[in-house]
Structure 1
Amino acid sequence: MKTTLFITGMLLSVVTSFAQEIPEAQVPASVVAAFKKDFPQATETKWEKKADAHSVKFKVNGVEHKGWLDSNGKMVKHKVDIKESELPAAVTTTLKKEYSNFKVSGVYKMLEGNVTTYEMDLKNDQEKWEAVFAEDGKLVKKKQKDKSGKDKPAKDKDKSAKAKKVS
């Protein structure tokens, strides 16, 4: 019993030490200033401290965003909720051709450096996948999920999803 309590306590302390919501006043002024310059219309901002960087969740015109900023306030990664109808034509074509038997949900546009990708969940009656596509419609990465949404061990061959394992 003591071992279980100890392990539980350690896990909780590790999880809470990686990301902690903090008030904006505790975020370095240079980081906040850079963020506000790039997103002056941001509302509902919530800051977190992560290792040597900060992340911020916010809304712009009701659309949810999440950004990761380095210690100088440079946005190194930016995730924005989008509608399926906002996907590039090449991604839509791939979805229609290769994943026509899947429902698309949870669509995000991810900007990291000069690279833009599109993340989404693909689900049908038998399977659930988390997939990432490049702007040209090519599958970049996929992860199978179980019914509860947790990662499932990868399979080498997946005939029903018609997707190749991409590194």
Structure 2
Amino acid sequence: MKKQITLMASALTLISAATFAQDIHPSEVPSVVANNFRKEFPKASDIEWELDGDNYNVDFEIGWGTDHEIWYDAAGNMLKHEEEISKGDLPNQVTSKINSDFKDLRIDGAKKITEGSQVTYKVELENFTEEWKVIFSATGEVLHKIND
């Protein structure tokens, strides 16, 4: 019985380790991925790499703290880009939808998310009693919302 518990604990540890991204040294990033990143974002600073399954994830800043997060496949293709933006950078349709459907909440943070040719916006909305994370299309349609 003790052996079974030990095996089960070991298996769960391996599964959980494989499920989460792991920090990696920049030298462990394939050159095609690193070169594509440097070419696209030459002014990036505070760069941190992770291995996320078969993909490479990089967190970095540009300028005075504009956070970015990008996922690349092993061939160096950009899969997803999340960029922190100001509320003034949200499309008018998104702002209008927030003002009509979430009028009691204020914008606490916003990100522009690009996956291929699709652009969405993740907006954190809050007041004193509630917090929401809402994904909007570029046309202001609510695609997903979570009460945090």
TM-score, structure 1 as length reference:
0.77
Alignment deviations for residues 5-54 of structure 1 (CA, whole Å, 9 cap, x no partner): x75x7655544333110010011111101111111111111000011110
Aligned to 1:55: 57
1:82 equivalent to 2:59? Answer: no
- Paired with 2:81 and 2:42, the residues of 1 have a C-alpha distance of 15
Runs of 4+ in 1 over 4 A off after TM superposition: 9-13
Structure 1, unaligned runs of 5 or more: 146-167
Alignment deviations for residues 64-118 of structure 1 (CA, whole Å, 9 cap, x no partner): 1000001111111000111111111111111111111012212111001101111
- Paired with 2:95 and 2:13, the residues of 1 have a C-alpha distance of 41
Deviation at 1:126, TM superposition (A): 3.5
Higher strand share: 2
- Paired with 2:67 and 2:125, the residues of 1 have a C-alpha distance of 20
Q: 1:139 aligns with which of 126, 142, 147?
A: 142
- Paired with 1:24 and 1:79, the residues of 2 have a C-alpha distance of 20
RMSD after superposition: 1.8
- Paired with 1:95 and 1:10, the residues of 2 have a C-alpha distance of 45
SS of equivalent to 1:121: strand
Relative distance call for 1:82 and 1:15 in structure 2 (3 A) is farther
Aligned to 1:69: 72
Relative distance call for 1:14 and 1:105 in structure 2 (3 A) is farther
- Paired with 1:127 and 1:38, the residues of 2 have a C-alpha distance of 38
- Paired with 2:13 and 2:35, the residues of 1 have a C-alpha distance of 33
Amino acid at match of 1:32: A
Q: 2:46 aligns with which of 44, 68, 71?
A: 44
1:32 equivalent to 2:34? Answer: yes
- Paired with 2:41 and 2:111, the residues of 1 have a C-alpha distance of 18
Q: 1:115 aligns with which of 102, 113, 118?
A: 118
Structure 2, unaligned runs of 5 or more: none
Aligned to 1:99: 102
Amino acid at match of 1:30: V
SS of equivalent to 1:78: strand
SS of equivalent to 1:30: helix
Relative distance call for 1:83 and 1:11 in structure 2 (3 A) is farther
